[in-house]
Amino acid sequence: MEETPKRWSARTKAEIIMRLLRGEAIDALSRECVVTVATLSQWRDEFIEAGIAGLKGRSVDEVRVADLEKKIGQQAMEIELYKKKRQWNQSIRGSMSKP
C-alpha cells in the first residue's frame, strides 16, 4: 500500500477535487487517497470558493478581503451618488420656492 503524504500540495488537492467534480464517488476517492470524506468535502468547498488559491490556505482570506473591499467601494460610490442626488434635489426645491 502506498504511503499517503502528511501534507498535500495544492496541485494534488486540485487534481483530486477535479475528479470529484467530474463525478467520481467521494467514498471511493476517500479510500483511494486514504483521506476522510470530511476532508475531501472541505477541500471541495475551499476549491469552489476560491479555486486553487483556496487550497493554499492563506489565500482564502485574501480572496475574502478583496471581495469585502470591492463591496465597500461599491457602497462608498452609492453613498456618494445618494449625497449628490440629495444635494441636487435640495437645490431644485430651493430654486422652486424662490419667487
Specify the pLDDT at position 60. 66
Same domain, 52 and 65: no
Specify the pLDDT at position 4. 62
Same domain, 43 and 27: yes
pLDDT surpasses 50 at 69: yes
> What mean pLDDT do residues 20-29 have?
95
For residues 36 and 29, what is the distance between their CA atoms, to the nearest angstrom?
Answer: 9
Is 80 domain-assigned?
A: yes
Is 50 domain-assigned?
A: yes
pLDDT surpasses 90 at 92: no
pLDDT band of residue 63 (cuts 50, 70, 90) is confident
Same domain, 34 and 72: no
Q: Quote the domain boundaries for residue 34.
A: 7-56
Same domain, 51 and 68: no
Cβ–Cβ < 8 Å for 28, 39: no
Structural domains of the chain, count: 2
Same domain, 30 and 66: no
